[in-house]
Structure 1
Amino acid sequence: MNFVVTGGAGFIGSHIVDALIDSGHRVHVVDNLTTGRRENVNPKAIFHLIDITGDQLGAVFEQAKPDMVIHHAAQIDVQTSMERPLLDAKVNILGTLALLEQCREHKVRKLIYASSAAVYGPPEYLGADEGHPLRPISFYGISKQTPEHYIEIFSHLFGIDYTILRYANVYGIRQDPKGEGGVVSVFVDQLLQGQQTVIFGDGEQTRDFIYVKDIVSANLAAVERGSKGIYNISWNKQTSVNNLLKLMSELCGKPFAPRYMPPRAGDIIHSRLDNTAAKEQLGWEPRVTLRSGLRETIEYYSRLYGSNSSCPPQ
């Protein structure tokens, strides 16, 4: 099968590309390398250094003739969205719309769209299921929610199948602490480089952490299942930022000694997503525990950084 993967040089997208190629598919990667890295791109993939909001996207679709598109190209930093809402909307909303136009024109069978827990905003209940009200409190949450509506209408009007995956807090290998800035990657970077870790707020805010390998398996499941569905991809477990850092400090052999800073605008206090629908309808479930995923991530970056830190045996 022919795939186009946008954001395929990035953290999550590059892992999906690897899995598709391992499964024997032909993959075209679209990425402008704003946050992605060329070295992340599988050498068997066909790489296109372009922006999804530019005028070269049509030529890629002409060449690729994709059966399916997996869309991960995005501006994903909440704080950037609050500071630069026009940029955020251009990439996340107009970029997705441009992609949908190509899907329509080239009769793509299905689109898999990476959405976010940020669309829910402060939860009315935990774990939030797919029927939870959508009340985002950041521009990022708005710019991830809006394409969902476009996708649904394009599907209705032009027959494009889709699956929308709303991710909890994803972490793992290849996440860039300076670019994408997930809390796990930031903590790993600070711990292994001997810097004091920084927590925004009191650290009692909770997140639902999911390892990148489980995100990949959800995307592979959505290739054949989940038609016209929206699914939370999560562990359905809460972990406080304080407890996260304590576990990471233990695995790194470092003391728990954070510096607390004021909370940031656009950040919610608690998050946990119910994943029942994904289990029942995609046949998917998470398999990598937080401890195992953190251990694998820390060991990878320890080797990368040449750090003396090590993880004790499990």
Structure 2
Amino acid sequence: MARALVIGANGFIGSHLVDALVADGHEVAAFDRFSGGGEPSFSSSGVEVIRGEFLSRTDLDSAVRGRDHVFHFLSTTNPATAEADPTLDIRTNVAQTVELLESSSAAGVGHFYFASTGGAIYGPQGKASYAENDRALPVSPYGIGKLTIEHYLHYFRTMHGLDSTSFRISNPYGTRQHPHKKQGLIPIALRQVVNGETTVRLGDGSMVRDYIYVTDAVRMITNVVGRDREHDLYNIGSGRGYSVNEVFESLRRVTGIDFAIEDRPAPATFVDRVVLDVARYVAEFGEPPTIALDDGVRATYEELERSA
């Protein structure tokens, strides 16, 4: 099996990815700041823990040395912070990812896997769903930054022979997702419900997103690792859309709480509908696993209750 490095291993998706790679028999190293002084978020034993700074080229050079696969699942911004300061995304996410690619190329990394975005990269084109060969027309700095990195992956493949795969992940949710960050409707709304707060709804609730439970998304990703593939880009999603109002109905069913809602204007960069077409993935790797929305919400809610 491969020697794998996960950048962002203590994060929401990254921690689940560490566990899945270990379960698949890979030798896994986990790179993150591991700030806060607590135990790592992943549950697997036998993982090499590398405490480092993503913004340190020295730390990156050291971390990628001797790795077969590098998984870049760390972001210094989210959609809200990138919109508040677009230059921050350019200076940290984009520029430092280019340095990570330089480090990986120089170290002879066999394959580079990148967590892109399916929720923001296609933009407002009015389509029922989006496939990988549709144009990417992001209108948010977060989506623009992800697309820029995808283009740099093409450059490093052409100039330096660094093989890579991008995963355009829809709207993942589930356990280990920090509810205090400004990303993720389901954990943020559930935190507000658990705390007895008014739940905020951006817009009129008609916005549609493709929600996928985190372990389903990670299993789709790890199914690609080390296998022959026809493409270097895959949508990672459920292929089904839910409106914000439908998500709130699920929250009510699961929690049994009829919470109050406060409506606020949706940001201008929010897209009305984003559902991912996963036909390319299914054709190559088979039907992805799916956890029903209520079941995924229930698992997320139970974790929040335990930590409340």
Q: In which range does the TM-score fall when normalised by the shorter chain?
A: over 0.9
Q: Report the equivalent of 1:100.
A: 101
* Match of residue 69 from structure 2: 68
CA contact (8 A) 1:2 1:27 kept: yes
Which of 164, 167, 170 is the matching residue for 1:168?
Answer: 170
Deviation at 1:16, TM superposition (A): 0.4
1:238 and 2:241 are equivalent in the alignment: yes
Out of 253, 257, 262, the position equivalent to 1:259 is 262
Distance in 2 between residues matched to 1:34 and 1:85, nearest whole Å? 25
Q: How does 1:1-314 map to 2 (within 5 A)?
A: 1-33=2-34, 38-41=39-42, 42-55=44-57, 56-62=59-65, 65-117=66-118, 118-179=120-181, 181-225=183-227, 226=229, 228-305=231-308
Instruction: Give secondary structure in 2 for the equivalent of 1:210.
Output: strand
Distance 1:36-1:138 versus aligned 2 partners, 3 A rule:
farther
Residue 123 (structure 1) shift = 2.8
Deviations, residues 175-199 of structure 1 (Å, cap 9, x unaligned):
0121252111101101111111110
Residue 14 (structure 1) shift? 0.3
In 1, the alpha carbon distance for the partners of 2:93 and 2:304 equals 29
Unaligned runs of 5+ in 1: 306-314
Name the SS of the counterpart of 1:223 in structure 2: coil
- Cα deviation for residue 227 of structure 1 reads 5.6
CA deviation map 1:234-285 (0-9, x unaligned)? 1111111011011112210100421111112421111111010011123351
Cα pair distance change 1:135/1:197, threshold 3 Å: same
Q: Give the aligned length.
A: 303
Q: Distance in 2 between matches of 1:60 and 1:255?
A: 48
Report Cα offsets for 1:41-87 as digits up to 9, x if no partner.
4443222222223122112223xx11001110113421111111122
**TM score, norm. by length of structure 1:** 0.91
Structure 1 window deviating more from structure 2 (206-215 vs 40-49): it is 40-49
Alpha carbons 1:162, 1:228 under 8 Å: kept: no
CA–CA separation in structure 2 for the residues paired with 1:70 and 1:36: 24
Matched position secondary structure for 2:301: helix
The one-letter amino acid of 2:17's match is I
Distance 1:181 1:110 in 2: 29
Q: Is residue 79–residue 266 contact of structure 1 (8 Å, CA) maintained in 2?
A: no
1:294: how far off?
Answer: 1.1
Whole-angstrom CA distance in 1 between matches of 2:179 and 2:89: 19
Asked if the contact 1:208–1:236 (Cα under 8 Å) also holds between the matched residues in 2, the reply is: yes
Normalised by the length of structure 2, the TM-score is: 0.93
**1:303, 1:111 → 2: CA distance?**
36
Q: Deviations over 1:74-129 (max 9, x none)?
A: 13421111111122122321122111111111111111111102111113412111
* TM-superposition CA deviations, 1:109-150 (whole Å, max 9, x none): 111111102111113412111111111111001111101011
Q: Percent identity?
A: 32
Look up the equivalent residue of 2:237 and give its one-letter code: S
SS at 1:134 equivalent: coil
Q: Which runs of 5+ in 2 are unaligned?
A: none
TM-superposed CA distance for 1:295, in Å, is 1.5
- Tell whether the 8 Å contact from 1:236 to 1:275 is kept in structure 2 after alignment: yes
